[in-house]
Amino acid sequence: MPAFLPGLELSRRFYSDAVRPLLDEALPGLPHSAARLGSGSEVLGYDTARSADHEWGPRLQLFLRPEDAETHGPRLSALLSHRLPKTFLGHPTHFARTDDDPGTDIRVMTSTAGPVHHRVDITDPATWFTARLGFDPAQGVTTADWLATPTQRLAEVTAGAVFHDGLDRLTPARTAVGWYPHEIWLYVLACQWKRVSQEEAFVGRCGEVGDELGSAIVAARLIRDLMRLSLLMNRRYPPYSKWLGTAFTANPQGAALTPTLTAALAATDWHRS
């Protein structure tokens, strides 16, 4: 395998050097936007060489106007399958299934002799944002939208990178959900504090009845909630569990709090925890 290149940079070059030339040749002047958003460790900037084991590689979203996505999308996808290079910067552009289960579509880069099953996802902005968030930010964001949307999803659409925004839709949409309105932010913080208050006594209560395992579980839950609270206080959408610790340690309070939280997790009795 080639030397590790962060996924966002790989996707940026893939768009400019491989996808864009084919698009300009096939449909010159077609308004479009291109980005790498959504799921994937590279979107949050946390990818490593290990990330290549699934759903990582030269990939991006190509956004067209709704009518253009309907008219040109299938033909353009087929064109890319036949005309994209089999490898880009040493990485296969073909993504094969990792499971025979038709309900599972997790893919990994692999070589192929035929047309590539590429990961250039062709769609329109409204369809994509609605699929990721449950609403289209271009139509406004309601209080219910803010409170019902997982912070991981908000992180996925506000992180990543926009390579080209010829439709002028991606940047405004990402800005619209860049952070909670002030009053909603305060409410979310209050909810997080409430979560902590509801269980903070249980570390000791479990320990008093000899339930060291239960006490440790409660301590771990509280630590998770405090890490999320720290991120929210610093206007960062907490990611899901895999990346919560990584995001937290990069936070301003992370370096100071990590030794204490780690010691609480490592404690072998509830008094120390």
Instruction: For residue 189, give both structure tokens.
Output: 């913080």
pLDDT at 104 over 80: no
156 in Cβ contact with 133 (< 8 Å): no
Choose between 54 and 148: higher pLDDT. 148
pLDDT band for 31, please (50, 70, 90 cuts): very high
What's the rounded mean pLDDT across residues 249-269?
Answer: 89
> What 3-state class would DSSP assign to 81?
helix
Higher pLDDT, 239 or 266: 239
Residue range 115-147, pLDDT digits in tens: 989 999 999 999 999 999 999 999 999 999 999
Q: Are 215 and 273 in contact (CB under 8 A)?
A: yes
> How does DSSP classify residue 50?
G
- Tell me the pLDDT tens digit for each residue of 174-209: 999 999 999 999 999 999 999 999 999 998 999 999
CA angle 134, 139, 140 (to 5 degrees): 85
Q: Over 90: is that where the pLDDT of 18 sits?
A: yes
Task: Please give the C-alpha separations between residue 265 and each of 197, 200, 224, 238, in angstroms, as whole numbers.
Answer: 19, 14, 11, 20
Euclidean distance between CA atoms 155 and 146, whole angstroms: 13
Q: Is the pLDDT of residue 78 over 80?
A: yes
Give tens-digit pLDDT for 211-254: 899 999 999 999 999 999 999 999 999 999 999 999 999 988 88
Q: Cβ distance 53 to 108 under 8 Å?
A: yes
User: What is the pTM assigned to this prediction?
Assistant: 0.90
Long-range contacts of 210-219 (CB under 8 A, 24+ apart): 212/268, 212/269, 212/270, 215/270, 215/273, 216/265, 216/267, 216/270, 216/273, 219/264, 219/265, 219/267, 219/270, 219/273
pLDDT digits (tens, 9 = 90+) for 36-48: 999 999 999 998 8
